[in-house]
Amino acid sequence: MPLIIALRKDRREWVKKQGKNVNLKRYQKNARKALKTFVSLGPVYIKLGQWLSSRADILPQPYMEELAKLQDEVPAAPFEQAKPIIENDLGPIERNFDYVNPAAVSGASLGQVYLAKIKGQDVIVKVKRPNIEKIVEEDIKVLKKIVPFAMKFVDPNLRYSAEAMLSQFIETIHEEMDYRIESQNLKTIKRNLRSYPKVIIPSVMEDYSNKNVLVMEYIPGIKITNVKALDEAGINREQLVVRAHKVFFTMLLRHEMFHADPHPGNISVTNDGSLILYDFGMVGKLDTQTRLKLIRLYLALVEKDPSRTVNAMDDLGMLMPGYDRGIIEQGIGMSIQALYGTKVDKMEVKALMELANKTMSRFPFKLPKHLALYMRMASILEGIYLTHKVDFRFIGVLQNILEEENIVKDAYIEELKLAFTRFVKSVDSAIAVVPEIKKFLEENRRMQQNPPKSKNILLAGSILSAALFVGSSILYTVNNFVGEIGMIGSIALMGISIAIKDR
């Protein structure tokens, strides 16, 4: 309890002073105490500390930096304790493996990893910690009992986000203890990324894997934050940071599943700069509508549009009930102006995250359960970028992903659909459609001007056609004649676009 009280006091001061003119030594001292507390309480709390280390909406920066150390190695249990788990599931080690190195190559809060050979092939063997399921169940029971009491000492604006994070944490930790789920996650993401260059995901050895043991091919590499080794290997670290962000944000914005734990121990690099991804126990899943809403939020931030930013955040469930829209819009606008005096395409990822962190701490924002893993993934990737200190423009990478994956079309159509819906519901809000259409027309014009020409003309035409169709479908409920004209126009426009492409 003293830890929670100290954290509450530190966070309030940190938010009030925006991290400036504070007693940094006191913060660091309290943060070290928090780290020792999490370590002393065991695996579940170590895992919880790892989660908190990526939550800038909950913790001051010194706490995040200290708890980030929990991402590093956790001492492995002796092999004598892991061996019975392997043999209980697979049979005698001598019958299944040529060799198993008893010295663990890594240890984590829930499991540990060994090098081995099967029929001459190098593999890694991931084994659950002894008695981990019983330990987790007991710790979670205690956690559930103390959370309601602890929440009384948490600032009201934080309670929803903290409770949502804990709910997601409990759900995820149970999934992480079943290696059959991790195996399926790995195969799904590997299938989704099969056409992406320079991305390597190990294959699972199905005959040697089950709930408690996971055996995969061994693919060695350089740790992504080992700057010295990467430089010695001649790796272009600027390109490496761009590649890492493209891979993870493509998973987030294009596919149904994304790797949610990209800490440095889970990403290695080959001598040609390819990324090797490990550990698929923690993944996030966003449905199509949530992904589109998230893309709309990114587009609004890129375009420095506070009103659309608030719309997107509200649609994502990130605003507390009864929020004052005017105050939030003004706050976001002022933050954008203060942080981004230059053109938006020059925004760096650090500044973008600072904007999000400051606005989330000042105003009644919340982070819903389904977005907790997204926030974790983005925050950890930011840490990798900061380690390399290279010239990296996150917005440029994001825009590239949206265009290459044809995602921007879906987002703009969704934006227009919502604008037309608002138009139909209220004459007073009809004026809101005008800026949405203006944004769309500007994007439409830009895509027509940029190569490859035929691809962009078709894309621009498909956006306009789909927008007309969506708008006409909604307007049809108000005026049949106007709606029918729009639908006919949308079909004709798509035909013209295809004809141009075929030339």
Residue by residue, what is the 3-state secondary structure of 29-66?
HHHHHHHHHHHHHCHHHHHHHHHHCCCCCCCCHHHHHH
Query: Which pLDDT tens digit goes with each residue over 329-364?
Result: 876 776 666 545 544 444 444 555 555 555 555 555
Tokens 């994502």 belong to which residue? 316
Query: Which pLDDT tens digit goes with each residue over 132-188?
Result: 999 999 999 988 888 787 777 677 767 777 788 888 888 889 999 999 999 999 999
Percent of the chain whose predicted confidence (pLDDT) is above 70: 72
Catalytic, out of 10, 261, 279, 315: 261
Q: Which two tokens stand for residue 413?
A: 């159509």
Q: What is the mean pLDDT of each run of 10 residues along the chain (503 residues)?
A: 79 78 90 89 86 81 86 78 95 95 88 95 95 92 83 72 83 92 97 94 96 96 96 95 94 92 93 96 89 84 82 86 75 62 47 53 68 86 87 78 74 66 55 54 53 42 43 41 38 39 45
Are 118 and 205 a contacting pair, CB within 8 Å? yes
Q: Reduce the DSSP state of residue 117 to 3 states and report it.
A: strand
Q: How far apart are CA 330 and CA 218, in angstroms?
A: 52
Q: Reduce the DSSP state of residue 102 to 3 states and report it.
A: coil
Q: Residue 481: CB partners within 8 Å, gap ≥ 6?
A: none
DSSP class of residue 365?
Answer: B
Residue 106 parent element (H or E): strand 106-107
pLDDT at position 441, please? Answer: 53
Alpha helices (H) in 68-192, listed in sequence order: 79-90, 93-96, 132-151, 156-176, 179-192
The sheet that has 222-223: what strands, in order across it?
Answer: 199-200, 275-277, 267-269, 222-223
287 is catalytic: no
Burial 428-455 (b: 16+ CB within 10 A, else e): eeeebbeebbebbeebbeebeeeeeeee
- DSSP, residue by residue, 277-289: E---SSEE---HH
pLDDT at position 120, please? Answer: 95
Are 7 and 27 a contacting pair, CB within 8 Å? no
**pTM of the predicted protein model:** 0.75
**What torsion, rounded to 10 degrees, do the Cα atoms 224, 225, 228, 233 define?**
10
Are 342 and 393 a contacting pair, CB within 8 Å? no
Q: How far apart are CA 129 and CA 169, in angstroms?
A: 19
Sign of CA dihedral 400, 401, 402, 404: positive
Q: Residue 40: CB partners within 8 Å, gap ≥ 6?
A: none
Q: How far apart are CA 86 and CA 287, in angstroms?
A: 36
Distance, CA of 40 to chain centre: 29
pLDDT at position 146, please? Answer: 82
Residue 217 parent element (H or E): strand 213-217
